[in-house]
Amino acid sequence: MTAILSGMRVVEASAFVAAPLGGMTLAQLGADVIRIDAIGGGLDYRRWPVTKDNVSMFWAGLNKSKRSVAINFRSPEGSELAKQIITAPGKDSGMLLTNFPPKGWLSYDELSAIRPDLIQLTVQGDRHGGSAVDYTVNPSIGLPFLTGPSDSNSPTNHVLPAWDLVTGQMAALGLLAAERHRFRTGEGQHSKIALADAAMAVMGHLGFIAEAQLGEERPRYGNYLFGAFGRDFLTADGERVMVIGLTKRQWTSLCEATESAEKMDALAKQLGRNFSKEGDRFESRDEISAVFSAFIAARPYAEIETIFNQKGVCWSRYQTVKQMLDTNPDCSLDNPMFSQINQAGIGSYMAAGAPWDFSAFAREPAKPAPRLGEQTDEVLADVVGLSRAEIGRLHDAGVIAGPEAV
């Protein structure tokens, strides 16, 4: 099956989230992404969650559709092999994605001396090359003081590594942008993206920085949607739902569904506000919530679900990951994004492919992550051009390793 990035080859040396996610994004779009792994596994090879046999579901999840070469790159011969893989000829190759320091066998100066049109994208913690992870960047930009109950004075972290995810996609985009430049000019380059910069850029795009710079210190609002109307409510049988009235249509549907249109008109008149304006809805959020709460709290979840769906309300139910898996058809093989894969060491389970649906290409099914070193011999033969005898000698010398038994 041909995919939109078929023919492109990217070498990846990475750990944890941002860079592996960027590489997997390219791989699931059809690029040949070759991981250069340490023999025995790198920093994140056993990252939780793990199976009872200590096989990482995290590592498997972020390395689907790639190939793996296991090299002792601390040895001179191993580091030279890594350089040969990275700088191998071909107009659609010569691209490196990494979040390791650009030195030694990952030095752009050394690599570009071998292949001048090399494209290297390095993911950094901060713009100075310092160490940072999502869970240190997020506290530094203020969001933990905007997250959590409105009556709390303590910072609240969230579990989603949002800045890793954003940076990973930006890394993939940056690599493709540099490849387009090379296609047009023949020039390679070293591009860097810092996790902290990606986070601060998004904070700026969403208005947080301008708001603070102009003198407004935004408080916590709990589960309220900032700037419009949205909040969670309990049903009569204890289920919790989130409802949104951001756009005019959403607000109208919510009022109709809860039989509250006339009450809202009267409330707006009483408060001297215009609920067709989202800001006025936000300013009146507590009074509005009292009206909706009375309706929702008087009815069981099944009735609320039926009414909201019939009226086109923008809403959702709070549920666990297991509940989502058990009840949501979009999180099942009915969704063409998902495929059943057999992952070595883990077993058979449902995995996501790329979420894009291109009209000119069929969806690529999800493919398992490689076993560590699974394609070592294959890559050294096909990409570097080594003979079977040379590959055998490197195995005997402990410079390379084949697939681990799992």
Task: Measure the CA–CA gap between 118 and 264, rounded to whole angstroms.
Answer: 62
98: tokens are: 């990494």
Q: Are strands 9-13 and 400-401 parallel, antiparallel or unpaired?
A: unpaired
Question: Is 240 exposed, middle or buried, given 0-12, 13-18 or 19+ CB atoms closer than 10 A?
Answer: middle
Name the percent of the chain in helix, strand, coil, to the closest 5: 40, 15, 45
Catalytic annotation, pick one of 37, 134, 164, 197 = 164
- Residue 384, number of CB atoms within 10 A of its CB: 14
Per the CB < 8 A criterion, the answer to whether 202 and 193 are in contact is no
SS3 state at 273: coil
Residues 339-373, buried b or exposed e (16+ Cβ, 10 A)? bebebbbbeeeebebbeeeeeebebbbbbbbbbbb
132 DSSP 8-state letter: -
Task: Measure the CA–CA gap between 60 and 67, rounded to whole angstroms.
Answer: 12
260 DSSP 8-state letter: -
Question: Does an H or E element contain 152, and which?
Answer: none
Task: Measure the CA–CA gap between 141 and 134, rounded to whole angstroms.
Answer: 11
Residue 164 designated active-site: yes
- Residue 142, number of CB atoms within 10 A of its CB: 16
Angle at alpha carbon of residue 256, lines to 254 and 258, rounded to 5°: 70
Cis peptide before 102 (omega within 30 of 0): no
37: tokens are: 């792994």
Q: What is the number of residues in the chain? A: 406
229-234 β-sheet, strand order: 229-234, 240-245, 314-317
Non-local CB neighbours of 204 within 8 Å, separated by 6+ positions: 210
Task: List residues with catalytic annotation.
Answer: 164
